[in-house]
Amino acid sequence: MYICFLMYPWESINPERDTTLTFIHECVSRGHKVAICTPGNLTIRDRVTSAFCQVIKSPDKVPASIKTFYKGCSFRHQMLPLAGFDCIFMRANPPMDPLMLNFLDSVKDDVFILNSIEGLREANNKLYTAAFGNIHEDVIPNTHVSKNKDYLVRQIEESKSDKMILKPLNGYGGSGVILIEKSAMKNINSLLDFYLTNSDGSSNYVILQEYVEGAEKGDIRILLLNGEPIGAVRRVPDAKDHRSNLSVGGTYEKHSLTKHELTICKKIGPKLVKDGLYFVGIDVINGKLIEVNVMSPGGVVPVNKMNKTKVQRKVIDFIEEKVDDMLFKINRRSKLRSEVQDS
């Protein structure tokens, strides 16, 4: 199998906790040909969509240690047509560049793309939870998305809770997420100015969300594959921070999914699959669905460590099955077309 990881720069990887690296290591271990590229390295020449890729040179022996594998990786640099790959695995960090998806539109019928272009367009930001109409409203916290400062201030003032969460619409990894309190109303106006207004005069959408009791104890990251949960871990915030993301100092604990959490997965799973969102990370706090992460969901490393498993094997197995199905259909059509032409 020939697979291209559309991702962040190789040099920015933390081999101790990077989910994408675990997938790459698994692919190389299976003998698949792996290339990586960043969104900025997509190009079109002579109506062919290509990418300036780093192609991993197949080692004689793949180290079992992912950290050792990362340090020893060597590459050759080559511009390659995207339609020549069997799979493109989307692992670029948000916010999503719409132009990147426009490049991929030209090859979506030739290559299996995980997650699908259409699904990423619909679900690339934190508004996607509003799409789950089959979930009772008490599962999703009260949420406001706006760039109207007066409206946001009014919602804070009228909220029954003394605390609310403010975060940028397109943030990731806990970046920009802050806890605001009514007792600090004097500071809220300046905070909103900072979040809403850019230096060029343009404005940004923000999310103002009900504070869910128990958030100080962390959240549950649940990984779903093809609509089914395949692993979960509790992320615990540092004592000096309200955010539980590992990238900002959070730690993790083993977690077994509750009946209620399994029900949430069961309710949202069919829509995720319908939208082509096959590998997803959802965040749950005290039984409430906080976020659906589809661009580059992480958590594989702690899930593996806490449960002595290898989630990446299930994900790559799934990709192999999808690619085999696609190739079978292509070959079958080619054979049938030959029969028609020869008739």
pLDDT average, residue stretch 18-44: 97
Domain range annotation of the chain: 2-114, 142-210, 215-312
pLDDT at 173: 65
Q: What is the pLDDT of residue 174?
A: 67
pLDDT at position 131 is 65
User: Pick the residue with more confidence: 31 or 218?
Assistant: 31
The stretch 43-68 carries a mean pLDDT of: 95
pLDDT, position 134: 60
Give pLDDT, residue 130: 64
pLDDT band at 246 (very low <50, low <70, confident <90, very high): low
Cα distance between residue 26 and residue 9, in whole Å? 19
**Is pLDDT of 317 > 60?**
yes
Write out pLDDT tens, residues 186-216.
Answer: 788 888 988 898 888 888 889 898 888 888 8
Q: Which CATH architecture has domain 2-114?
A: 3-Layer(aba) Sandwich (3.40)
Average confidence (pLDDT) over 124-151 = 77
Name the band, by pLDDT with cuts 50, 70 and 90, for residue 229.
very high
Give 152-162 pLDDT, tens digit per residue: 999 999 988 88
CATH code that applies to domain 215-312: 3.30.470.20
Say which residues have a Cβ less than 8 Å from residue 330's Cβ, sequence separation at least 6. none
Q: By three-state DSSP, how is residue 257 classified?
A: coil
Q: Tell which wins on pLDDT, 262 or 46.
A: 262
Query: Quick one: which of 180, 171, 116 has its CA closest to 283?
Result: 171
Q: Given pLDDT bands bounded at 50, 70 and 90, which one contains residue 238?
A: confident
Q: The sheet that has 219-225: what strands, in order across it?
A: 251-254, 228-236, 219-225, 279-285, 288-293
Cβ-proximal residues to 98 (8 Å cutoff; 6+ apart), any chain:
121
Domains 142-210 and 215-312 fall in the same CATH topology: no
Whether the predicted pLDDT of 137 surpasses 70? no
Q: Is the pLDDT of residue 61 over 90?
A: yes
Of the segments 11-15, 166-170, 196-200, 214-218, which one has the largest average pLDDT value?
A: 11-15
The whole-number pLDDT of residue 202 equals 85
pLDDT, residue 249, reads: 62
Task: Answer whether residue 43 shows pLDDT above 60.
Answer: yes
Question: In the predicted model, what is the mean pLDDT of the chain?
Answer: 90
CATH number among 3.30.1490.20, 3.40.605.10, 3.40.50.880, 3.50.50.60, domain 142-210: 3.30.1490.20
Residue 239's pLDDT band, with cuts at 50, 70 and 90, is low
pTM of this structure: 0.87
Name the DSSP letter for residue 237.
Answer: -
Mean pLDDT throughout 79-102? Answer: 93
Whether residue 244 is predicted with pLDDT greater than 60 in this model: the reply is no
Residue 133 has pLDDT above 70, yes or no: no
Which pLDDT does position 215 carry in this prediction?
A: 83
Interval 52-69 mean pLDDT: 96
Strands 228-236 and 219-225: antiparallel
What is the pLDDT at residue 38?
97
Whether the per-residue pLDDT at 242 is higher than 60: the answer is: no
3 state DSSP class of 163 = strand
Structure tokens at 92: 């670029």
Stretch 277-294: mean pLDDT, rounded?
93
**Torsion on CA atoms 124, 194, 176, 241, rounded to nearest 10:** -160
